[in-house]
Amino acid sequence: MEKRTDINTLGEFGLIEHLTKDVTVKNPNTLHGIGDDAAVIDAGKDALLISTDLLVEGIHFDLMYTPLKHLGYKAVVVNVSDIYAMNAVAEQITISLAISNRFSVEALEELYEGIALACKMYNVDLIGGDTTSSPKGLTISVTATGRAKKEDIVYRSGAKPGDIICITGDLGAAYLGLQLLEREKQVYLAAPGVQPDLEQKKYLVERQLKPEAAKESIAYFKKKKIQPTAMIDISDGLASEVFHICKSSKVGAFIEEAKIPIHPEAEEMALKFSLDPTMCALNGGEDYELLFTIDEKDLQEIRYMPSVYIIGEIVDAKDGIKLHTSGGNIHDLKAQGWKHFEDKA
């Protein structure tokens, strides 16, 4: 019998690694291919950055509680975020859609209102895409391009022992927003007359449905001439992103649980759901803040950044990736991340 390996045995990152392990780069202007938030292409004086992301109905969004305008906005933001994660400025996007006939022209106009709003907010141009039919549901693929001076680009691989680990905003709220929306959906399905009251939980719901990319942080680095040593955007939860930086940079990390920023509303909601707020920050995802490391010499300037949290330090690889808990224990950080394949099997 022919060999058949279930994709769940590898997980998302293992699968990408497996499929791309023999990929080589032939063109000298491909400066950096697979393995970072965006690919880097030599474009003369500057470098061109390219990143792509796919959003699938039923996996990444549920239209029962996701307004199409927000979805359009988010689809752009999550791509722009990957360009920022390279310390670059986003400039263009393309949008590709697979749509079933369940969607009306008016519905798609709403989607495009959100796309246009994000293009305006982040100063990017919509320059193309593709449109096709789908047997069921909606799929959105966005590709973003950006630009940076070659020497300004920040990879996941530049962190070194002694560097300070920072993040640009609080974590876990988007995940808790999702839990809340999912719960309200179940309540609604059980008793369709009952309208959910989400007014009190605006922050969490917004973090989930209408995230923002860390534009100001990139502008601050530029203004202050600070170059992070490594950077990644937090799409899969802090733990997973710390692992990516450590793996690429061949270092370890020491994270202080007490320093991980968690919004009071997120903390409260986590406790209501009997979840550990720290676990939500570590493994929740979709925060779209930046995780970056800086040389110790830049610490003073970084302290003045409008939104920054210092959460730990890069250590030698042999010292591992550790979490110093608020209770005073030190244990190995575990990355769970999203498990789309398992969740939706």
Residues near Mg ion, by CB under 5 A:
37, 82, 233
CB of 82 to Mg ion, least distance (A): 4
At residue 129, the 3 state secondary structure works out as strand
Does residue 248 belong to the site contacting ligand ADP (CB under 6 A)?
A: no
Nearer to ligand ADP among residue 54 and residue 194 (C-beta): 54
CB of 235 to ligand ADP, least distance (A): 5
Instruction: Provide the mask over 194-233, with x wherever binding to ligand ADP is found by CB under 6 A and - wherever it is not.
Output: ----------------------------------------
The option from Mg ion, ligand ADP, none interacting with 20 (CB < 5 to 8 A, set by class) reads: ligand ADP
At residue 28, the 3 state secondary structure works out as coil
**Which tokens sit at 197?**
């009251």
Between strands 330-332 and 321-324, the pairing is antiparallel
According to DSSP, residue 196 is labeled P
Considering Cα of 72, then 264, then 217, then 280, what sign does the dihedral take? negative
The full 3-state SS of 304-342, as one line of letters, equals CCCCCEEEEEEECHHHCEEEECCCCCEEECCCCCCCHHH
Does residue 16 belong to the site contacting ligand ADP (CB under 6 A)?
A: yes
Among 13-21, 144-152, 188-196, 209-217, the segment contacting ligand ADP (CB under 6 A)? 13-21
Within 170-199, which residues bind ligand ADP (CB under 6 A)?
none
Nearer to ligand ADP among residue 65 and residue 175 (C-beta): 175
| H-assigned helices in the chain | 11-20, 68-84, 105-121, 173-190, 202-209, 215-223, 238-249, 264-272, 277-283, 299-303, 340-343
Q: Which residue is nearest to Mg ion (CB)?
A: 37
The option from Mg ion, ligand ADP, none interacting with 271 (CB < 5 to 8 A, set by class) reads: none
Does residue 36 belong to the site contacting ligand ADP (CB under 6 A)?
A: yes
Q: What gap in Å lies between CA 118 and CA 136, rounded to an integer?
A: 26
Q: What gap in Å lies between CA 58 and CA 108, rounded to an integer?
A: 17
CB of 53 to ligand ADP, least distance (A): 6
At residue 250, the 3 state secondary structure works out as coil
CB of 261 to Mg ion, least distance (A): 19
Nearer to Mg ion among residue 233 and residue 298 (C-beta): 233
Taking CB under 6 A as the criterion, the residue among 42, 46, 53, 182 binding ligand ADP is 53
Q: Are the CB atoms for 206 and 198 separated by under 8 Å?
A: no
Q: What gap in Å lies between CA 9 and CA 258, rounded to an integer?
A: 34
Does residue 7 belong to the site contacting ligand ADP (CB under 6 A)?
A: no
Taking CB under 6 A as the criterion, the residue among 143, 179, 229, 235 binding ligand ADP is 235
The residue ranges that bind ligand ADP (CB under 6 A) are 16, 19-20, 34-37, 53, 82, 235
